[in-house]
Structure 1
Amino acid sequence: MEPSNQKPKYFNLRPEIEKAYGYSHAVKIGNDIKISGAVSMDDEGNPIAVGDMEQQMKNCYSDLEKILNHFNCTFDDVVKEDVFTTNMPKFLEVSGYRTEIYKNHFPTGTWLCVKELALPEFLVEIEMEVHKNKQS
């Protein structure tokens, strides 16, 4: 069946925050999942690890892992990862952490330095696209 003929399945990691900002954290259509950018926030939407690029990055991957788990996926299923950061040199210093996330292969993706993210305290935002070979 073509993915376009399948009904999207939406997932909200933090429903109240996502409703307030006007987005869903993930949507699955067929074997493909699109995941909105994850930032370093607590369950009330407050920035955490302010000023700490490495911890913010780890917090992003922690949230992304929760979303992947919801869809019975792992980081091995990620085919595209885009990173947005307000400080590329600092991100590059800590980007080696990604080898702990992607143990078998790295996804495609783009790293962009941007002027600002949704809140000034956010230093990094990571979004993903996932392809799962089998329906779950």
Structure 2
Amino acid sequence: MQNDAKITRKNTKGLHHPVGNYAHMTKIPRNAELYVTSGQIGADLDGNFPVDMNDQIKNTFQNIKTVLQAEGLSAENIIKVNIWAVQKIDWDYLYAKWEELFGNDYPSMTVGYISELGLPEIKIEIEIWAAKV
């Protein structure tokens, strides 16, 4: 594999600037190893869910970091993020956690508001797609 083979992110010319902290396109080089997580949720280590949405967001990002680290991955390996929430997201708070993880090199992202997730206590679920070159 060539040394210049790497994951790249870009915003497409001729298209509006992203409305959030994400890239329009993420390119994965040939022969990259793909990783897909189950949706990570805001449970703590004991399996308890905080009532507060921001506390669930904080736990969810910690759980994402733990899953990535277990496979020797980091934020630079993330190629796609899907966020599902059952109530309005405090974007200032979520983006603060987002910036801690990504800096300003954002992956592609989709956000959906839905009526419920797998358990009534879950307020947010974040699925990660990653690739290792």
TM-score by length of 1: 0.68
Q: CA deviation at 1:42?
A: 3.2
1:96-107 to 2 correspondences below 5 Å: 96-97=95-96, 98-107=98-107
Q: CA deviation at 1:120?
A: 1.5
State the match for 1:56 in structure 2: 56
Identity of aligned residues (%): 26
Q: CA deviation at 1:125?
A: 0.5
Q: CA deviation at 1:109?
A: 1.6
The alignment status of 1:41 with 2:40, answered yes or no, reads no
Deviates more, 1:92-101 or 1:72-81: 92-101
Provide structure 1 residue ranges, at least 5 long, that are not aligned to the other structure.
1-29
Which runs of 4 or more aligned residues in structure 1 lie more than 6 Å from their structure 2 counterparts after TM superposition? Answer: none
Q: Give the number of aligned pairs.
A: 103
Counterparts of 2:132 and 2:117 in 1: how far apart (Å)? Answer: 29
1:18-97 to 2 correspondences below 5 Å: 31-47=33-49, 49-50=50-51, 52-88=52-88, 90-97=89-96
| Counterpart residue identity of residue 77, structure 1 | N
Counterparts of 1:41 and 1:85 in 2: how far apart (Å)? Answer: 14
Provide structure 2 residue ranges, at least 5 long, that are not aligned to the other structure.
1-31
Q: CA deviation at 1:46?
A: 3.1
Q: Secondary structure at the match of 2:91?
A: helix
TM-score by length of 2: 0.69
- The CA RMSD over aligned residues, in Å, is 2.1
1:90-129 to 2 correspondences below 5 Å: 90-97=89-96, 98-129=98-129
Q: CA deviation at 1:33?
A: 0.3
Q: Secondary structure at the match of 1:95?
A: helix
Counterparts of 1:70 and 1:43 in 2: how far apart (Å)? Answer: 15
Q: CA deviation at 1:104?
A: 4.2
| 1:14-69 Cα shifts (integer Å, max 9, x gaps) | xxxxxxxxxxxxxxxx611000101111345332x21x122211101111111111
| Counterpart residue identity of residue 45, structure 1 | G
Counterparts of 1:91 and 1:120 in 2: how far apart (Å)? Answer: 19
Counterparts of 1:41 and 1:63 in 2: how far apart (Å)? Answer: 8
